[in-house]
Amino acid sequence: MNYSSGYKHKEGWTTMPMPSMMRAEGAQGAVRLTKREIEVLSLIAQGFSSQEAAQNLVVSKRTVDFHLANVYDKLQVNNRVQAFRAATRMGLIPFEPSFGHTHGES
C-alpha cells in the first residue's frame, strides 16, 4: 500500500496515511475505492462539509459530491454516516475516534 497524503486544515497541513486504492470483500464481492474517493470520505468522516473538503482538495464541491455518490454506490449506502460505518467495517479507512474534536483538532 502507498501511504502518503496530506490535507490542508484551517490550522495548516496535516499528514494522514492514505492508501492509493483499497479493496475489501463486500457482500457482492470486492469493493474498490480510488485514492480520491478515500480522501473525500476521510475528510467527510472528520466532519468537513462537501465545500470544506473541496477547498482542502482544491476541487469543486460538485467533484466532491461526485466522488461521494460513487462511494455510496460502491458501498451500497445512502448517506455519509452509513458510508463511514461501512468503510471502517470493511477496513477501507481507519477508524480514529476523536470525540469532541472536529477538523483534525487535538
> For position 65, which CATH number holds?
1.10.10.10
The answer to the question of residue 106 being in a domain is: no
Residues 11 and 57: their CA atoms lie apart, in Å, by 15
Longest dimension (CA), the chain: 41
E strand or H helix at 67: helix 61-75
Domain tally, the chain:
1
The answer to the question of residue 105 being in a domain is: no
The answer to the question of residue 95 being in a domain is: no
Residue 26's domain spans which residues? Answer: 6-89
The answer to the question of residue 54 being in a domain is: yes
The answer to the question of residue 61 being in a domain is: yes
Closest CA to 26 of 64, 65, 73, 66: 73
Would you give per-residue pLDDT tens digits along the chain (106 residues)? 333 445 555 554 444 444 444 455 544 468 899 999 999 999 999 999 999 999 999 999 999 999 999 999 999 999 999 999 999 999 988 877 655 555 555 5
